[in-house]
Structure 1
Amino acid sequence: MEKKSFTDPKVRPHARVKIEDVARKANVSPATVSRVLNHPEIVRPELRDKVMRYITDLSYTPDSAARALKSGRMRTIGAIVPTLGLGIFAEGVEALQNRLSESGYTLFIANSQYDQRRELQEVQSLIQRGIDGIVLVGGSHGRELRELVAQAGVPVVTTYVSKANGGIPAIGVDNERATHEMTEYLIGLGHIRFGAIANIPPSNDRSRARLDGIQRALSKVGIQLRPTQIIRADHSLAQGRGALRQLLTDHPETTAVICTTDTLAIGAMAEARKMGLNVPRDLSVTGFDDVELSAQVDPPLTTISIPAAEIGRGAADYLINAIAGRPVPKSVLLPYRLVMRSSTAAPRVNERSAKRTRTKIR
């Protein structure tokens, strides 16, 4: 049997279904089909259902490229986060995507790995692809990035902070105030021998603010952390473990460790257990973010809960309104919550100091 290819004039691939084809089958105008697709809430339910049946039967998909050329918009939003390895960012991105999808926008995601040069490259790539809006994280963005988005005229909002440098609108929490409150809580329990584990690369202004909040609260009661009492670490469980061992090697008298992320705190608790220490009887440990795992570890982690999903939805609403030319706020401060769980307790200094001396390093 002779085979025929698509180059044979007698054989044609299936032509793309057009909006006019749907309109003809449904016995309505193309404008009505367009309204069903773009503004279904203004179409009578029975008519909307009828048109949708023909859209499904004919396997019609809107020509988004043609719509983009006509409107000058791609209906795409870009989000650049430091990493998706932290649950707090994944939760925010999911909420962002869901809210954007409700308004017909597609989300592109990139990560910067806490590198401002990489963040700039990702922003350049998004703008070159005709992105309609950009979501960033944090308030520390280079001058080149701010100039680039200003020149492109693309709406931008940054997240997880309540104020941003360079005039970029922000939606998030007051990170410094949150750890200030956490530190006051530990002071109230009777702790005076503190240590901190912080992931503070140059671009991570959120963790720097959290460390500032810790130090400010301690200074109010006459406590100053020495450089060796502040352990700098990356955002991983292993780094949290190593940081705790280093801190307790240099300062075995420590009774409270404040971490700038839950991941570091969970790693620190695991290392404390390996060293033969009981949390919280021998050592109180706190985190920040309130990821899902923090309530499931043993003991459950005392932490700061931040509204990641609300931040994601708020960022989506900001960009949707900005693109539509509606008024938008310059900054939105959202509430955090101190979650007191079983990883913190009043110190038992004398008994614990003796035990720490015996088990300093195993």
Structure 2
Amino acid sequence: MTPTIKDVAKAANVSVATVSRVLHNLNGYSHKTKVKVLEAVEELGYHPNAIARGLINKRTQTIGVLFPNVSSGFTSEILYGIEEAANEKDYSVIVCNTAADGKRTMKYLQVLREKQVDGVVFTSELLKDEYYHQLKNMKMPVVLVNTHSSKYSIPYVKVDDRQASYQATAYLIEKGHTDIAMIGGTPWDTVAGIPRVEGYRQALADHGIPFEETKIAYGNFHMESGRSAMAKLLEEAPPFTALFAASDEMAIGAMGMAFEKGIKVPEELSIIGYDDLNLAKIIYPPLTTIHQPLAEMGRIAVEKLITLIEEQGEVPSSIVSHSIVERQTVKSKT
């Protein structure tokens, strides 16, 4: 039979109220009493019920996380950081897959409301007005990851997508490439799609290289779309010696298509990706890419969220650093 708080109180010869105060680090008892209670907890194998804890501190020690695609390598690395940080603070995590274009976002916000989560980590999707108003009605704190809102004042954790893309393109130029194509993300995506294209275009302009619309194709950040976009570029674009893909998955898809067409990477085509997923390290040849500290971004988001939950103050947004990871898919043009 599962031990209860009453069993602990009886074993320690104290009141239920005293056991509760010890377990929640409140004052009003001696050190000797605390030791007796903790020994009883250990001997009985007592685990406080989350609902019971919530009656005292008005919290469920649970946070909700919204992802548009839980199966991607990108998501798994952010989630790793989220779960590690949450576990260290004794919080549980409920993960919701909102699907492409947020088809299930409103549904899952309602689910999280019913579960009485203490806060929400909202990732990789545009924060639409309807989402914001629902969160506001839920009266719970929220932190954004890999996205931000220019309309609403909500703390976020992300890299500077425009600057990172600028540096990826400039890196190819420094290697002697002037015919550079790009596979961009979703064209209307203001979070990552548009800024990454802007960074690419600005780098070309700053180095005196004309932008050619035919040298850019679009995907949806996933691998298969990278294959399709690469096929389109090879068929319709002027010749190019280098490619910047706005995600590692699209870069790897493009590499697969290049291989099928008999194009050698990097001997005939240099490719740089964006994210630095684990997959980028094991693909052959290993992918040169822009590193985003995805797990660290998840961790920082949870730390901010728990501060909002427990201290009910304000937290600043964070622009985290990115870097170029040189592997074997970019070759200097001689």
Question: TM-score w.r.t. structure 1 length?
Answer: 0.82
Structure 1 residues 55 and 278, CA gap change in structure 2 (3 angstroms)? same
Alpha-carbon offset, residue 230 of structure 1: 1.7
Stretch of structure 1 that moved more, 299-308 or 159-168: 159-168
Larger Rg: 1
2:162 aligned with 1:199, yes or no? no
Query: Matched residue of 2:41: which SS?
Result: helix
CA contact (8 A) 2:221 2:246 kept: no
What corresponds to 2:72 in structure 1? 86
What corresponds to 2:105 in structure 1? 119
2:289 aligned with 1:276, yes or no? no
Alpha-carbon offset, residue 60 of structure 1: 2.7
2:16 aligned with 1:68, yes or no? no
What corresponds to 2:95 in structure 1? 109
What corresponds to 1:306 in structure 2? 292
2:305 aligned with 1:325, yes or no? no
Query: CA separation in 2, counterparts of 1:56 and 1:114?
Result: 46
CA deviations 1:62-87 (Å, max 9, x no partner) are 23223323433222111101212222
Structure 1 residues without counterparts, runs of 5 or longer: 1-13, 349-362
2:182 aligned with 1:218, yes or no? no
Structure 1 residues 238 and 162, CA gap change in structure 2 (3 angstroms)? closer
Alpha-carbon offset, residue 259 of structure 1: 0.5
What corresponds to 2:175 in structure 1? 189
Alpha-carbon offset, residue 103 of structure 1: 1.8
What corresponds to 1:341 in structure 2? 327
CA contact (8 A) 1:114 1:201 kept: no
**Alignment-mate amino acid for residue 329 of structure 1:** V
2:154 aligned with 1:168, yes or no? yes
**Alignment-mate amino acid for residue 70 of structure 2:** L
Query: Matched residue of 1:95: which SS?
Result: helix
Alpha-carbon offset, residue 208 of structure 1: 2.4
CA contact (8 A) 2:64 2:94 kept: yes
Query: Matched residue of 1:205: which SS?
Result: coil
User: What is the aligned-residue identity percentage?
Assistant: 32
Query: CA separation in 2, counterparts of 1:271 and 1:44?
Result: 70
Alpha-carbon offset, residue 307 of structure 1: 1.0
Alpha-carbon offset, residue 341 of structure 1: 1.7
What corresponds to 1:359 in structure 2? none
Structure 1 residues 289 and 324, CA gap change in structure 2 (3 angstroms)? same
What corresponds to 2:83 in structure 1? 97
CA contact (8 A) 1:133 1:155 kept: yes
Query: CA separation in 2, counterparts of 1:45 and 1:299?
Result: 61
Structure 2 counterpart of 1:238, from 224, 229, 233: 224
Structure 1 counterpart of 2:6, from 5, 20, 31: 20
What corresponds to 1:180 in structure 2? 166
Structure 2 residues without counterparts, runs of 5 or longer: none
Query: CA separation in 2, counterparts of 1:70 and 1:31?
Result: 11
CA deviations 1:170-216 (Å, max 9, x no partner) are 11211110010111111111111121112216456223211221111
Query: CA separation in 2, counterparts of 1:186 and 1:21?
Result: 68
Aligned CA RMSD, in angstroms, stands at 2.7
Query: Matched residue of 1:197: which SS?
Result: strand
Query: CA separation in 2, counterparts of 1:225 and 1:21?
Result: 74
Query: CA separation in 2, counterparts of 1:163 and 1:193?
Result: 34
CA deviations 1:286-328 (Å, max 9, x no partner) are 1111011212222211101111121111111111111122543
Alpha-carbon offset, residue 31 of structure 1: 5.0
Stretch of structure 1 that moved more, 305-314 or 133-142: 133-142
**Alignment-mate amino acid for residue 194 of structure 2:** R
Stretch of structure 1 that moved more, 268-277 or 163-172: 163-172
CA contact (8 A) 2:286 2:328 kept: yes
CA deviations 1:40-94 (Å, max 9, x no partner) are 9xx9999878655643543433232233234332221111012122222211112
Query: CA separation in 1, counterparts of 2:167 and 2:56?
Result: 52
